[in-house]
Structure 1
Amino acid sequence: MAPRHQRPLGRRRLLLALGGAAVAVPAAATLAPYALADTSAAGDASVAAGPLPLTIVNDSGSFGNASVHLYIVGNQDGRQVRVTPDGTLAPIAVSDNGSDGFTDYAISLAGSGETRLSLPYMSGRIYVSLGEKLKFKAVTDGNGNAALQYPAGWVTSDPNYPVLHDCAEFTYNASGMFCNTTMVDMFSVPMSIRLTGAKDQSTGRLRAGGRADAFAAVRQVEQFAPLVVDDRRLIAPGHGLDAGLFAKDYLAPYIDEVWSTYTGRDLTVTTNAGTFTGRVRGDRFTFDGPAQVSFAKPSTRDVLFCDGNLAAPNDGTTGPVAAVLGAGFNRSTLLSHPAQPTTDAGTFYRTDLTNHYAKAMHAATADGKAYGFAFDDVADFASYIQDTAPTGITLTLTPFEG
């Protein structure tokens, strides 16, 4: 199997748009272009049977089952849906809003022990909130269809800003289960995923004390310290930039140095399409190889969101090169390694000017894998697992402390 950064970039779409419906979000909120799994079953005879047993385990040590509220929301066949406690899909409906203007799609955990549910085919997110319920609002989108406004924990005006919450992402269909824990937007609640089937895999678990260490690591870097919201969450620097909490030109010196360095030398980027060789010509970084692709100089925001001048179209050429460049900028390896992508994690985040948020996320996990930015799956460093013949999935709220 080819490395994930060398596979098609269909996974590099917003997860919740895979079902064909646009997600309604608060006007101030944006969702990052998550790096997702190639869910094609080509060349694999396995077919996932549905529905899939889903087990929720509360090992948080800080919140009892009665204080944990679960939400499974997303898309199926172009419509926005939610999972009910009995495992069936229900369409989102504006009439679901209560007198307070919000839906109550919460699924309660069992009184004690594990909670066993059933997951139908869909693409979506499993949200957990602790202590308080989340406020999801059903609205009508631009096409007249019912849609949800999702929590935006990085927006102070969002009604869910005070609530301790987080989510995992998944796509489950006949091709299999493709899932991840994500810190692309923010980090708050430590959780892990175990996926059984053709293999027994897990991802996302923090090492002992990892949550506290991540908060401390972000707090101790002056430019990143404003991203720490009490002991509630860490906000990703891209969202911090949009909120005025993070410098818009933070990465400019590094970006300028990359542009200057590769005016006089080559940078090679290897993808499944072949090897691309690039230099800065004029004001663009131009690569020759299987096809010619070029990029205007990105801004700090472009790098943090892996978007704008580093956007990755699903074209098999520009997209994969953009993804590798985005990873190289965030990991600050482009100057030290003229052959990309780099696969030695020991070389990542070694400069003072780097994505210290993503660095902290990786340092906090037991296996060193995390989704600290949208293209963190380049060279397989994301907290992502997949199985084409899954038999069960377990989401565990892992300890807040110790």
Structure 2
Amino acid sequence: MSDTPVPRRSLLRGLALGAIGAPLVAAFGAPSVAAAGTRGPFADGTLAVTVTNDSGAAGNDAVRLYVVGTDLATGAQAHADAGGNLIPVSLSDNGSDGYTDYSIPLAGSGDTTIALPHMSGRIYFALGDPLRFKAVPDGNGNPALAYPAGWVESDPNYPVLHDFFEFTYDGSGMHCNNTQVDMFGVPSSVHLVGAADQTTGTLEAGGRGRIFAEVAAQAGFGSLVLDDLRVIAPGHGIEVGRFAADYFDGYLDDVWSKYAGETLTVHTGGADRTGRVTGGVFTFDGAVAPISKPTTSDVFFCAGALAAPNDGLTGPVAAALGAGFNRSTLLASASQPTDDPAGFYATDPTNHYARIMHAHMTDGRAYGFPFDDVGGFASYIEDGAPTALHLTLTAFS
């Protein structure tokens, strides 16, 4: 296992919201479908991933998987088949309907096991209708893939019940998370076996319904519930006009005012960084880059002014600030990040979407915003010597 976790903000560096990646050259020679119950990694380095459909919302014959992402060797975009072959995305993959068909059907009954090659990406699962991924040229003219955007009504995948799991599987092991950063629609859990035995992402019984109901009832958040399909994250809600773009503005002003006259200490693991707001900018000691006042959108996306470069300097400070804003702890404590979840989401405004996700996980861990890994509260697990990965679509009710 690596000494430094691979959090979601760096897990999928090549994976952008609109189009990601590009082609890959090497193919992995795993069998076309791995037998259920097989353990890996296989001789070719692929890892056995066993998928169990306990959703109760659709039979195996109505569930499709899609393994898509980035070739770690080239940065090019590819998709994987059930046998673990990593296949370059090509514009010619679009069929007569204008979309690719990278789907992997589940076995007729019982578990389904596929082989996963070294790559960084997502495993999507769609219940009912198939997902429509479109091969498109990127900014450099290379083949890329337009991903589903379940928060955009004009997206062809909007009416499709779907969700996804994120991972990087490379020479240092499996690094993965069960994520709600973009949305939540299909409950699932991940079980990673290797040097350790770890499970995360498991909802409490009836958790899906409670999440939908509680988000719907939360003042200002109700429009994030899209029928019985999904709940979308507030940042995407801002993008599509379903959430207030100024939600955190007053809190941002209060934080900036507080630290214009008081010192904030950020514990980064490697060193403590102290900072104050000077001339409207948060300035820290050391080589930390000055941080401008973020917008509400920056807070929810942990981007813009809160972008966290993987530099060990500005990155950890920006991440701690992003977590403090979403958890609403920055006015309560001048020492960040705080580590007592009882103090998270305790005052308004706060990220109630993330709060509700955490509240209904059996281990209390969720990925309600991109910096939810700060302090170890995210549904993220890794193993340096993985032998099996199990994905379970858990019960809707």
TM-score, normalization: structure 1?
0.89
The letter for the 2-side match of 1:73 is V
Q: Tell me whether 1:327 sits opposite 2:312 in the alignment.
A: no
One of 22, 25, 47 as aligned partner of 2:19: 25
Q: CA deviation at 1:294?
A: 2.1
Measured in 2, the distance between the counterparts of 1:23 and 1:280 equals: 32
Match of 2:78 in 1: 81
Please give the per-residue CA displacement for 1:300-347, whole angstroms capped at 9, x wherever unaligned: 111111111111122211111000000000000111121111111111
Q: CA deviation at 1:16?
A: 5.6
Measured in 1, the distance between the counterparts of 2:305 and 2:86 equals: 38
One of 68, 90, 94 as aligned partner of 2:63: 68
Measured in 2, the distance between the counterparts of 1:130 and 1:56 equals: 14
Match of 2:310 in 1: 314
Mean Cα deviation higher: 277-286 or 65-74:
277-286
Contact residue 269 and residue 277 of structure 1 kept, 8 A: yes
Q: CA deviation at 1:293?
A: 3.5
SS at match of 1:17: coil
Q: CA deviation at 1:257?
A: 0.9
Contact residue 48 and residue 173 of structure 1 kept, 8 A: no
One of 331, 347, 350 as aligned partner of 2:346: 350
Measured in 2, the distance between the counterparts of 1:272 and 1:204 equals: 26
Match of 2:113 in 1: 116
One of 367, 373, 379 as aligned partner of 1:371: 367
The letter for the 2-side match of 1:62 is A
Please give the per-residue CA displacement for 1:371-399, whole angstroms capped at 9, x wherever unaligned: 10010000001100000000010110000
One of 231, 241, 252 as aligned partner of 2:238: 241
**CA 1:203–1:14: 2 relative to 1, 3 Å:** closer
Match of 1:208 in 2: 205
**CA 1:14–1:139: 2 relative to 1, 3 Å:** farther
One of 257, 261, 271 as aligned partner of 2:258: 261
The letter for the 2-side match of 1:350 is A
Match of 1:32 in 2: none
Q: CA deviation at 1:14?
A: 6.3
One of 212, 225, 241 as aligned partner of 2:222: 225
Contact residue 16 and residue 75 of structure 1 kept, 8 A: no
SS at match of 1:13: helix
Q: Tell me whether 1:189 sits opposite 2:186 in the alignment.
A: yes
Please give the per-residue CA displacement for 1:351-380, whole angstroms capped at 9, x wherever unaligned: 121001111111121111111001000000
The letter for the 2-side match of 1:237 is P
Contact residue 42 and residue 48 of structure 2 kept, 8 A: no
SS at match of 1:103: coil
SS at match of 1:56: strand
Q: Tell me whether 1:386 sits opposite 2:382 in the alignment.
A: yes
SS at match of 2:223: helix
Q: CA deviation at 1:221?
A: 1.5
Please give the per-residue CA displacement for 1:164-210, whole angstroms capped at 9, x wherever unaligned: 00000000011000000111111100001000000010110101111
SS at match of 2:317: helix
Aligned-pair Cα RMSD in Å: 2.0
Please give the per-residue CA displacement for 1:102-161, whole angstroms capped at 9, x wherever unaligned: 111110101100001111111110000001100011112222221111101011111000
Match of 1:36 in 2: none
Name the count of aligned residue pairs. 374
Mean Cα deviation higher: 269-278 or 176-185:
269-278
**CA 1:127–1:23: 2 relative to 1, 3 Å:** same
* Unmatched runs of 5 consecutive residues or more in structure 2: 21-40
Measured in 2, the distance between the counterparts of 1:87 and 1:281 equals: 53
**CA 1:161–1:303: 2 relative to 1, 3 Å:** same
Contact residue 7 and residue 373 of structure 2 kept, 8 A: no
Q: CA deviation at 1:8?
A: 8.0
One of 28, 47, 60 as aligned partner of 1:52: 47
Please give the per-residue CA displacement for 1:208-239, whole angstroms capped at 9, x wherever unaligned: 11111111111111211111101110111001
TM-score, normalization: structure 2?
0.90
Match of 1:35 in 2: none
SS at match of 2:19: coil
Measured in 2, the distance between the counterparts of 1:14 and 1:54 equals: 19
Contact residue 224 and residue 232 of structure 2 kept, 8 A: yes
Q: Report percent identity of matched pairs.
A: 60
Contact residue 70 and residue 120 of structure 2 kept, 8 A: yes
* Unmatched runs of 5 consecutive residues or more in structure 1: 27-46
One of 272, 286, 306 as aligned partner of 1:275: 272
The letter for the 2-side match of 1:107 is I
**CA 1:238–1:160: 2 relative to 1, 3 Å:** same
Q: CA deviation at 1:87?
A: 2.3
Q: CA deviation at 1:25?
A: 3.2
Please give the per-residue CA displacement for 1:71-120, whole angstroms capped at 9, x wherever unaligned: 00111122211111222111111111111011111101011000011111
Contact residue 9 and residue 320 of structure 1 kept, 8 A: no
SS at match of 2:353: helix
Please give the per-residue CA displacement for 1:281-303, whole angstroms capped at 9, x wherever unaligned: 12111122x33442111111111
Match of 1:339 in 2: 335
**CA 1:268–1:212: 2 relative to 1, 3 Å:** same
Contact residue 16 and residue 23 of structure 1 kept, 8 A: no
Match of 1:128 in 2: 125
Measured in 1, the distance between the counterparts of 2:84 and 2:42 equals: 17
Match of 2:94 in 1: 97
The letter for the 2-side match of 1:53 is A
Q: Tell me whether 1:294 sits opposite 2:290 in the alignment.
A: yes
